[in-house]
């Protein structure tokens, strides 16, 4: 379990434990945030001493973050675009 802060503001507690068919799964998205204003932002995870009862430890490993920047619509048929 970890608390998620964005720009110093608590957003929520996430449970990083994932057990599906007793396999380890990578690339699972566990947190999303939308509509941030353009500019720099800070994401902070604070790992808690509590854990899912099925988990054997309290370690959390972050392998990547995906960041999208919206761009101007290319035409009226597109709802959004990314750069």
Answer whether residue 5 shows pLDDT above 70: yes
Q: What is the mean pLDDT of residues 77-81?
A: 57
How do residues 29-71 score in pLDDT, each as one tens digit?
A: 788 888 888 778 888 889 888 888 888 877 887 777 777 776 6
> Which one has a higher pLDDT value, 56 or 19?
56
For every residue of 37-76, DSSP letters joined together read PSS---EEEEE-S---TT-S-------------B---SST
Q: What does the domain layout of the chain look like in residue ranges? A: 1-83
Q: What is the number of other CB atoms lying within 10 angstroms of the CB of residue 19? A: 11
Please name which of 60, 56, 53, 67 lies closest in space to residue 14, comparing C-alpha atoms: 60
As given in the structure block, the two tokens for residue 26 are 């990578």
């Amino acid at each position: 379990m970890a608390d998620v802060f964005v720009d110093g503001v608590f957003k929520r507690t996430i449970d990083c434990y994932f057990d599906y068919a007793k396999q380890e799964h990578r690339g699972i998205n566990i947190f999303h945030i939308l509509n941030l204003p353009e500019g720099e932002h800070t994401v902070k995870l604070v790992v808690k001493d509590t854990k899912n009862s099925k988990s054997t430890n309290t370690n959390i490993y972050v392998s990547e973050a995906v960041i999208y920047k919206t761009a101007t619509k290319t035409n009226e048929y597109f709802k959004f675009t990314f750069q």
